Amino acid sequence: MKNQSYLLFCLLFLFNASNIYAAETVIFTERTEISEIIKEISEASDDDVFKFFPNTYELNIILNTDKKITLEGVDTKNTILSSNDSDKPIIEFDQSSKVTIKGFTFLDSNKAIVINDNRDNLEITNNIFQMGKENIAIEMGSSAFVETSVEITNNTFYDNGINIDSRRSSVLVSNNIFQEYDVLFDDAAPGIIKNNCIESDLEIAKESDGNKLLVGDNFVDIEADEDDEDKKYDFHLIEDSSCIDVGRNDDEVTETDAGAYGGEAYDQAPESMTDTLRSNPSKPDLGQNMTLTWSQNKDHKVVGYTVYYSREAISSLSPESLDDASKRKAKFPNAILTEGLSANLSLPGPNVVVAVPVAPTLSKDNVVPGNNRITLSWDAVANATSYSVTYAAGNENPQTEDAKDATSYVIDGLINNKVYDVSVTAHNQLSYYFQVVSRVEKDEDQEEEDLVESYFHKDDIKLDIGTAVSSNPSNSISVQPEKIVAYPNLPNEGCFIATAAFGYYSSSQVQVLRDFRDQHLLTNNPGQVFVKLYYHYGPYAASIINEYSLLKPIVRVLLYPLILAVETLNKTVLGFFLLLGVYLLLSLAIIRVIIIQIYKRVSYT
């Protein structure tokens, strides 16, 4: 019994110990909150790997962990780190131990990496630093632990104010590319500088220690659109790049490319070519062959392309589910691999029977009128890939609008109080979604599931094949859009006098005056002053008119010429002023007659 307890204790201890010290791979994607990333990293265990999937992460990380960890971007060009606080560096080392930073593009921030104090070796490898001319890529203060080293290998430094600002000697700078900078190295030069590709005739860049001058065109795409907000380029090396085989691997003998896409642990995924994919014909018929073409990838390591296609959207799949070759093969067994740099492929057109969808059903409860609109909803029907909504008022020509794949739609711009007949039709369109990715050669020591091709592009190319098959229209529902009112339906104290005189707020004569207010008075200062005065004193006049109903016809008679003048204004400005002049003269004449009559009566009495 005692022995059994001892054994149980040992097992429990081992179980707990394995839980405590197990290294983890933690995945961050565009769906991960920044606060969660910071928290996960701060709670890291030894040998943890934090994998960042393609996205732009705006963050500031302070690393003061004593654990050996790796922060890794899986797709260098498209895994972007930038600062969310312009005064703070993106990554700051503060009393941290061995940390590896690899596979990121550091973009447009004050400082990318600041190393205040490191207690063990740091490795910064296979990154792109494109910070802008005012900014610093890497800054190193003098550490108390001077014996510890910092290795800056296989990075591409492009368009930086200062590439490396260092006050320590235990730094290895090798296999990097430096181009378009103001200052190559600031302060005391870092320790060992070898096998870099440098755009400079500085003393430091002479061809000793394997450093090489960078000449000519070197990168796949350095002419990206300047207006592009991301301002990120494709730094894969082209065929004749002067940086090919400039670097050395760890054995100091084997040649490797300089820059972010060289060395032993670079991101092997070249750029996807999906966004340049075209089909000829652009909309093939069923059974018709089609030719797909795309732009050639200039990366000198690319050996071919893989064309993925599916009836379902590929880009909606989670990137984690497709991050190795075996997962991709299982998901897309029909993917086509092309060899060589020929960027086209002929595909036989599918010849399948496209099922006719069932007609949708509209119920009165799901057709809701609104102000100048009707909102419809319906249940999805079998075999439908999209829907269209048809509406018509009386004998007018029916209008059809595309509701895409939604099962609800709002018809806008309708006329209130007019009866419309609405119906829905389902359509079945045969479509394929395509992704074309670039592929590089697999190294001998790579595992079967290692991915040697691009990550999928964020958008698929969708190709419609043949014409859509449509259902019969649904049942038709008659509905009448109308103006929404609040409860209780209270009056808007608009044209008080006119409302009082004409009896109700929505009479057509009152509407004419209201439109005149909105279009001709509220659009200028004198008009606004008039409206303000009218709104102040108008209600008193209106209350008098309401109290003495005998006044209503008199006010109406007085208002009619004004309404006529306002209506004329819509046709001719001159006519408006003529009518207004006549109206004012008549009004003055009437008022004069009344005053004279009153005066006479008073004098007589």
Partner 1 sequence: MIRFLSVFGCILLIAFSSIAVAAKDKPRWTLELNAELFEPRLSRWEETYGSKRMPVVGGSIAYRLLNVLDLGMSVNYGQERGNGYLPLSGLESGKVTHHMLPVELFGLLRLRFTENQWIVPYAGGGYTRFAYYQTIAGQDSNRGSVNGYHARVGLQLLLDPLDIAAENDMKASYGAINSYLFFEVKGTDAVVETVDGNGNAAKHQLGGYSYKSGLMVEFR
Residue 503 as a binder of partner 1 (CB under 8 A): the answer is yes
Residue range at the interface with partner 1 (CB under 8 A); choices 17-25, 337-345, 382-390, 503-511? 503-511
On whether the CB atoms of residues 80 and 56 are closer than 8 A, the answer is yes
Q: Binding partner 1 by CB under 8 A: which of 35, 346, 395, 492?
A: 492
User: Quick one: 504 or 604, whose CB is closer to partner 1?
Assistant: 504
Residue range at the interface with partner 1 (CB under 8 A); choices 186-194, 212-220, 225-233, 484-492? 484-492
Q: How many other C-beta atoms can be found within 10 angstroms of the C-beta atom of residue 284? A: 19
Residue 485 as a binder of partner 1 (CB under 8 A): the answer is yes
Map the footprint of partner 1 across residues 529-588, applying CB under 8 A.
Answer: none
Q: What tokens does 569 get?
A: 């204004």
User: Quick one: 505 or 583, whose CB is closer to partner 1?
Assistant: 505
Question: DSSP label at 317?
Answer: S
Query: Residue 407 burial by CB count (10 A; 0-12/13-18/19+): exposed, middle or buried?
Result: middle
User: Quick one: 200 or 507, whose CB is closer to partner 1?
Assistant: 507
User: Quick one: 503 or 581, whose CB is closer to partner 1?
Assistant: 503
Map the footprint of partner 1 across residues 368-387, applying CB under 8 A.
Answer: 368-371
User: Quick one: 136 or 559, whose CB is closer to partner 1?
Assistant: 559
Residue range at the interface with partner 1 (CB under 8 A); choices 158-166, 172-180, 487-495, 584-592? 487-495
| Residue (of 52, 76, 207, 192) closest to 129 by Cα position | 76
Residue 515 as a binder of partner 1 (CB under 8 A): the answer is no
Amino acid letter, 230: D
Residue 506 as a binder of partner 1 (CB under 8 A): the answer is yes
Least Å from the CB of residue 318 to partner 1 = 36
| Residue (of 110, 159, 115) closest to 136 by Cα position | 110
Least Å from the CB of residue 503 to partner 1 = 7
Question: DSSP label at 583?
Answer: H
Q: Binding partner 1 by CB under 8 A: which of 487, 526, 549, 571?
A: 487
On whether the CB atoms of residues 286 and 466 are closer than 8 A, the answer is yes
The C-alpha atoms of residue 523 and residue 317 are separated, in whole angstroms, by: 53
User: Quick one: 414 or 426, whose CB is closer to partner 1?
Assistant: 414
Q: Which residues contact 318 (CB under 8 A, 6 or more apart)?
A: 29
User: Quick one: 280 or 417, whose CB is closer to partner 1?
Assistant: 417
Residue 413 as a binder of partner 1 (CB under 8 A): the answer is no
As a dihedral over the C-alpha atoms of residue 490, residue 496, residue 502, residue 504, rounded to 10 degrees, the angle is 0
Q: What tokens does 133 get?
A: 């001319």
Residue 132 as a binder of partner 1 (CB under 8 A): the answer is no
583: phi then psi, degrees, rounded to nearest 5: -60, -45
504: phi then psi, degrees, rounded to nearest 5: -150, 155
Residue 480 as a binder of partner 1 (CB under 8 A): the answer is yes
Report how many residues bind partner 1 under the rule CB under 8 A: 23
On whether the CB atoms of residues 583 and 559 are closer than 8 A, the answer is no
Residue 486 as a binder of partner 1 (CB under 8 A): the answer is yes
What is the binding site for partner 1 (CB under 8 A)?
A: 368-371, 417, 480, 482-493, 503-507
